[in-house]
Amino acid sequence: MMDVKYIITDGRAIVFSSAIQHSDMARGFNSVEGAGFVTFRSEKDEYGETITKTNCYGKSISLDIESRGDIDSRIVTRQITNRGY
């Protein structure tokens, strides 16, 4: 399992290295709705297909914005899998 950072801006997720500050990544965007850390893991669904699960959590200290948990997780999952979750 790997933890990386993310921001949500204009309803879209940007996932990036934990070596980069949230505030540096957010530069140039008008607003950031959620920010924090995200983990990815693979698991089998009820049909035996491998799916990617995300878990957004925490807070960006440099932006003083918290993760919105499940809301952000659904946005990240939808974007990286193109599955509409």
Written as one string, the DSSP assignment of 31-70 is: --SEEEEEEEEEEE-TTS-EEEEEEEESEETTTTEE--TH
What confidence tier does 83 reach under pLDDT thresholds 50, 70, 90? low
Each residue's pLDDT tens digit, 11-61: 999 999 999 999 999 999 999 999 999 999 888 989 998 888 899 999 999
Going from N- to C-terminal start, the domains of the chain cover 3-81
